[in-house]
Amino acid sequence: MKASRIRGQPWNSGSSVSHQIDFDAHIIQVAGGNNNNEILTVKVIHKDSGAEIISHGTIKFNETGKEFPFPLTKPHMKASQTPQTITLELTKVDGKKFSASTTLSYLPNPRSRQSITRIDSIYGGLQVRTNGPAWETVFPYSFYISGGWLNYDPGNLKRFRDLGFNVLHIVPGGGGMGYDFDQLDAWFEEAEQLGLWIMYDMRHSFQNPEYVRYQVERYKSRKNMLLWYTADEPDGHEIPPSSTSRAYTHIKSLDLYHPISLCLNCQNYHFQAYTAGTDIIMTDTYPVGVNTSFSNKYQ
């Protein structure tokens, strides 16, 4: 089976059209006979254009790694904010058919000169595009930062960068959205000049749709925006499990160009429900200054 580095990620119209979109298929043997040598015909169908065939070929049972490329330059393959339905249809010699569908997010270039972030599904980390078609690989390396520490010494942000950290993740204060936005703008501007990416934290406000809209609209077009951060240990704070999915859907309605992350605390407390509302799952490991006397398991 061939793996794709951008599997499950949006494809942007500014990317090279010479790349292929992989649609993996593993055809298992059908019970009741030896089908290993049987050839199946394959059609890749673009459902949204009236079931037009965009690629075709043949495949054997149990064959893997077979590619059926299709170009994104066809007239009906237009970049859109709406996902497009792609169906893989296989037909046996006796006429029996098998099919599976998925969606392709083929996004138009954003109107502003904002960053575009996608997840590298093989090697981890993120890929970011700011100007032109080239993608830059980013492995986020950072820690939670308080605004008080940044205010304590104007040189702290540069020291942070000089130590090798590449993502600025400021923790909001309590109450409302938790930010002085004029000060936040100044920090983000300095971060851009220093080559730092922004991980925007909405831990206190992600359950308020109006607060979310204000913050996403204010910062989604920043050149150094990397990703959004919604819930901080919602399982440990017993925040409603459905809240992360609601926030996820709302943010995606405003910005399809940056992934969403959250951090969980417990081993398995409504894990599936919480993680349904994120692209990236994080965990707090706290490896520095930990007193292991409180947990014999990790001594």
Q: What is the pLDDT of residues 84-129, one digit of tens each?
A: 888 989 998 888 888 888 888 888 888 777 899 999 877 778 999 9
Of 207-211, 240-244, 264-268, 284-288, which range is least confident?
284-288
More confident residue, 125 or 167: 167
Q: How far apart are CA 249 and CA 255, in angstroms?
A: 10
With a cut of 80, say whether residue 287 has pLDDT above it: no
176: left (phi over 0), alpha (psi -120 to 50) or beta: left
pLDDT in tens, 63-77: 887 888 888 877 777
pLDDT at 3 over 80: no
Confidence label for 13 from pLDDT (cuts 50, 70 and 90): low
Confidence of residue 213 (pLDDT cuts 50, 70, 90): very high
Select from 170, 160, 228, 221 the least CA-distant residue to 195: 160
Residues 6+ apart with CB under 8 A from 248: 230, 260, 276, 277, 278
Mean pLDDT, rounded, for 41-70: 86
Higher pLDDT, 156 or 36: 156
Which amino acid, 299?
Q
The CA distances from residue 56 to 66, 67, 104, 277, in Å, are: 11, 10, 18, 35
Express each pLDDT in 152-166 by its tens digit: 999 999 999 999 999
Residue 274 has pLDDT above 90, yes or no: yes
Residue-level pLDDT at 27: 44
pLDDT band of 294, cuts 50, 70, 90: low
Token representation of residue 91: 């037909």
pLDDT of residue 25: 47
Average pLDDT, the chain: 85
User: 107 with 12: CB under 8 angstroms?
Assistant: yes
Using CA atoms, how far residue 274 sits from 153, 270, 282, in Å, is 37, 6, 12
Kindly report the pTM of this predicted structure: 0.80
Q: What would the pLDDT profile of 184-201 be if each residue is shown by its tens digit?
A: 999 999 999 999 999 999
Q: Are 231 and 203 in contact (CB under 8 A)?
A: yes
What's the full length of the chain, in residues? 299
Judge contact between 230 and 262, C-beta under 8 A: yes
